[in-house]
Amino acid sequence: MFDFAKWTSFINDLLLGFLPEWATVLVECVIIGVLVLLAYALLAIFYILYERKLCAWFQCRLGPMRVGRWGLLQVFADMFKILLKELIALKGTDRFLFKLAPYIIITSSVIMFACLPWGNGLQIIDFNIGIFFVLAVSSVGVLGILLAGWSSNNKYTLIGAMRSGAQMVSYELSLGLAIITIVLFAGTMNINELVAEQTSAWFIFRGHIPAIIAFLIYVVAATAETNRGPFDLPEAEHELTAGYHTEYSGIHFGFFYLAEYLNLFIVSGIASLMFLGGWMPLHIPGWEGFNNVMNYIPGIVWFLGKAFFISYIIIWFKWTFPRVRIDQMLAFEWKYLMPLSLVNLVVMAVCVALDWHF
């Protein structure tokens, strides 16, 4: 497996050769910031086209085909259209909070994006409570949604924001419990150590039935957490027009749009990290020849492939199941999903205590 730490160490030593340490750190921060924003934008563009084409495939259509070959440039046309639109602040809005809300959401999304491990030695933020940090930052996005709905001075945006806040706070419990189940099994919250623990086999295989149940709970909770169908009540077109971002236009609306699609990639990346080994190749104990062949595939390919696969499942949910009612959605979380998560956590604790795992 290729170690990207060799490249990063080489660049650091090269900069230290003709710059003082403080300037080296500053240059490295600028380079990392530019790369993160570039990867963020490119992945958002890819995911918009990815979902459009998958949606068309599910509905026996072709999807966007007019702009560029196979419609590949349609996303860029839409992006330029959004950027050229006027920023409008309606009468009666709290202008400061109205403008602040999309920046809170996009900042929370970018910080979580920076925590993902893309390959061996290719991670920006990593410390001993990495998973706890990711969960903490993800909860900040709820504040941006609530501010957007309240500051817009519109009953549809307010109802959408209240729905979204109730939904995200509720399903964060099941999502967090599913992650804690795997943290309990691994014995660490450090992101790099979580990946390293899956060298011999991924957690979804080593953790037996509790790990599989935790994975299923995580996928359902992540679908609700990102406000995607069939849990897209905050943006129900027939009831709330566009939900909490009804009054937004231009780049401010673009921030909501980008964050929604990148959050899909982020929750998929966290699922691949926690259950499918992250950038770690597929290894089968005793199959050394097979394992050596798998090691030739770059870690970044493994990570992106797993994330795209889980995103496919979440998109499949959206375009397959009908939208549920708000009472059904909350009852499903509090009456079924969270109790199941708690029981599953206890079962995993028993398995770890008695060493009933691979």
Tell me the per-residue pLDDT of 108-127, one tens digit each, with 9 for 90 and over: 999 999 889 888 878 887 78
* pLDDT at 131 exceeding the cut of 70: yes
- pLDDT score recorded for residue 271: 94
Q: Which two tokens stand for residue 253?
A: 């609306």
- Digit-coded pLDDT (tens) for 34-87: 988 899 888 988 998 998 899 898 888 888 888 888 888 888 888 888 888 877
Calculate what percentage of the chain has a pLDDT beyond 90.
24
Inform me whether the pLDDT recorded for 358 exceeds 70.
no
pTM of the full predicted structure? 0.90
- CA 38 – CA 96 distance, rounded (Å): 28
Sign of the Cα pseudo-torsion (148, 41, 262, 36, in order) = negative
| Average pLDDT score over residue span 295-299 | 86
β-bridge mates for residue 122, sequence order: 119
User: Looking at residue 343, what is its pLDDT?
Assistant: 95
Q: Is the pLDDT of residue 221 over 90?
A: yes
Length, in residues, of the chain: 358
Q: What mean pLDDT is predicted for residues 180-197?
A: 90
Looking at residues 179-202, what average pLDDT do you find? 90
Average pLDDT over residues 287-291: 84
Lowest mean pLDDT among 129-138, 212-221, 224-233: 224-233
Give the CA distances from residue 337 to residues 54, 86, 121, 277, in Å, rounded to whole numbers and listed in that order.
28, 43, 36, 24
Least confident of 21-30, 88-97, 192-201: 88-97
- Check residue 122 and report its DSSP letter: B
